[in-house]
């Protein structure tokens, strides 16, 4: 039976995600005149000066009216378009959910496909041991020493680090909201696509070279499974039969933290944030090592994933036709003309 604290976390974390996205939609709302017609340019010219200076998501327009559509259909479509124009950040919520859940469902499918397959787990264990040997050869095998020192001298720090590990989704959402509100539109588009491409690259590595994390190695190696202890801070969203446990290589936690910090340092207009941003990947690196969830080399490869994602993020633009077909089913479309004086649409 789940403890009251664990049960509360099952509600609090999803509630925070909903709250954060709601705040993001509200602070990025577009104030259009009530008499805006179906023309995007008209709506934009009717908006406030502040709304024109902000990055925007795709400015949705009604799709071509189908023959035989009723006045009620046209009114419904017009209201839907006006709603999306007023809250353009809703498109970013859709993009985030699409990226996140496709990745998680693929991981869950992979986890169920290998469940009970001892050969796969034996191979993942062998890969982990080979990493340990390589790290020992390079003088990088510090994971066990770091974990033992924290458990012996700073035991109070371990629950904090566990919370750092599980907060990467919430912090990532806060980053998306901040980047959407402050980064140049073309930069935000590239950042968003890079995050999605990172998931693709990481999933390919995870499924082609399965690696067991240190915490799941036999007891003779000395690692403690902190994340699955009562103090680990996990919940039903992170501990269930659909979790892919042998996915240590690469550390997307570390790679994503490093990428988000780099984006803030490179593109943020706020100097205080640029100064503190490097603390996040540093904290995440300490976390993944101290909790024995990754090896140092997992973090090294994880740091390379965003480099690949940033370089090849444009490949996701090939999915724009699919995006347009989905919107067409909703009676919407994204304007094709990006040379208009209105803000550049944020598209895949």
Helix residue ranges per DSSP H, 87-228: 89-113, 118-138, 143-153, 157-166, 168-182, 185-208
pLDDT for the residue 128: 97
139: alpha, beta or left, given left = phi > 0 and alpha = psi -120 to 50?
left
pLDDT for the residue 282: 97
pLDDT for the residue 51: 41
DSSP per-residue codes, 246-268:
SB-SS-HHHHHHHHHHHHHHHH-
Residue 123 and residue 210 in contact, taking contact as beta carbons nearer than 8 Å: yes
Spatial CA neighbour of 141 closest among 150, 152, 128: 128
Spatial CA neighbour of 170 closest among 13, 12, 59: 13
* Residues 169-203: tens digit of each pLDDT: 999 999 999 999 999 989 999 999 999 999 999 99
pLDDT for the residue 52: 39
In whole angstroms, what is the distance from residue 147 CA to residue 136 CA? 16
pLDDT for the residue 345: 38
**Per-10-residue mean pLDDT, the chain, length 348:** 55 87 89 49 44 49 55 68 81 89 91 91 96 96 95 93 91 96 93 96 95 94 82 54 87 96 97 96 96 96 97 91 75 47 37
* Residues 97-143: tens digit of each pLDDT: 989 999 999 999 999 999 889 999 999 999 999 999 999 999 999 99
Supply the mean pLDDT for the chain.
81
In whole angstroms, what is the distance from residue 133 CA to residue 76 CA? 64
DSSP per-residue codes, 70-123:
-HHHHHHHHHHHHHHHH-THHHHHHHHHHHHHHHHHHHHHHHHHSTT-HHHHHH
Backbone angles phi, psi at 195, to 5 degrees: -60, -40
pLDDT for the residue 207: 94
Backbone angles phi, psi at 27, to 5 degrees: -75, -15
Q: How many CB atoms lie within 10 A of CB 293?
A: 25
């Amino acid at each position: 039976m789940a403890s009251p604290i664990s049960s509360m976390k099952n509600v609090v974390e999803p509630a925070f995600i909903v709250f954060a996205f709601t705040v993001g939609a509200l602070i990025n709302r577009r104030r259009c005149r009530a008499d805006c017609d179906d023309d995007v340019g008209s709506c934009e010219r009717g908006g406030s000066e502040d709304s024109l200076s902000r990055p925007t998501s795709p400015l949705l327009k009604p799709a071509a009216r189908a023959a035989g559509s009723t006045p009620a259909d046209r009114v419904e479509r017009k209201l839907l378009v006006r709603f999306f124009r007023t809250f353009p950040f809703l498109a970013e919520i859709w993009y985030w959910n699409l990226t996140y859940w496709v990745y998680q469902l693929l991981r869950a499918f992979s986890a169920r496909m290998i469940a009970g397959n001892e050969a796969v787990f034996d191979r993942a264990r062998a890969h982990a041991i080979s990493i340990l040997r390589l790290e020992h050869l390079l003088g990088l095998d510090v994971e066990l020493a770091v974990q033992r020192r924290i458990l012996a001298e700073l035991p109070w720090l371990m629950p904090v680090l566990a919370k750092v590990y599980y907060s990467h989704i919430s912090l990532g959402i806060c980053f998306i909201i901040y980047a959407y509100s402050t980064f140049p539109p073309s930069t935000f588009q590239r950042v968003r696509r890079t995050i999605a491409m990172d998931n693709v690259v990481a999933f390919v590595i995870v499924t082609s070279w399965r690696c067991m994390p240190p915490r799941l190695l036999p007891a003779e190696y000395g690692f403690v499974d902190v994340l699955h202890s009562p103090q680990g801070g996990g919940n039903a969203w992170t501990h269930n039969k659909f979790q892919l446990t042998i996915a240590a290589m690469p550390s997307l936690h570390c790679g994503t933290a490093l990428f988000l910090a780099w984006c803030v340092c490179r593109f943020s207009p706020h100097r205080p944030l640029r100064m503190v941003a490097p603390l996040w990947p540093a904290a995440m690196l300490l976390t993944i090592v101290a909790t024995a969830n990754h090896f140092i080399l997992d973090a090294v490869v994880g740091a390379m994933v965003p480099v690949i994602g940033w370089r090849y993020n444009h490949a996701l633009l090939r999915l724009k036709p699919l995006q347009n077909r989905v919107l067409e089913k909703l009676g919407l479309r994204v304007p094709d003309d990006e040379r208009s004086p209105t803000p550049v649409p944020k598209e895949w």
